[in-house]
């Protein structure tokens, strides 16, 4: 995979970068969740929006839980 275009994304306490591979005309993402779990997808997404949606889903899944407030 080689990236000609990259889009940074910060969401739910984590970070992702959406990449475009012009040779494959496909998008993929690399991400690190708030819980420090990492993921890199295959270059299989046809649009940047689809890759962003999948990265956002990963970041939400790996967000830190909200602190509990004592009543």
Domain that holds residue 16: 5-61
Residue 69 falls within a domain, yes or no? no
Residue 71 falls within a domain, yes or no? no
Residue 66 falls within a domain, yes or no? no
Residue 35 falls within a domain, yes or no? yes
pLDDT tens digits in sequence order for the chain, 71 residues long: 666 789 999 999 999 999 999 999 999 999 999 999 999 999 999 999 999 999 999 999 999 876 766 65
- Contact call for residues 61 and 68 (beta carbons, < 8 A): no
56: tokens are: 């956002």
Identify the pLDDT of residue 27: 97
Reduce the DSSP state of residue 44 to 3 states and report it. coil
Count of domains for the chain: 1
| Predicted structure pTM score | 0.85
């Amino acid at each position: 995979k080689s990236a000609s275009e990259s889009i940074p994304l910060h969401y739910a306490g984590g970070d992702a970068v959406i990449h475009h591979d012009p040779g494959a005309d496909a998008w993929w993402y690399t991400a690190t969740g708030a819980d420090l779990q990492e993921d890199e997808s295959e270059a299989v997404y046809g649009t940047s929006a689809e890759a962003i949606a999948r990265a956002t889903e990963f970041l939400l899944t790996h967000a830190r839980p909200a602190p509990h407030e004592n009543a």
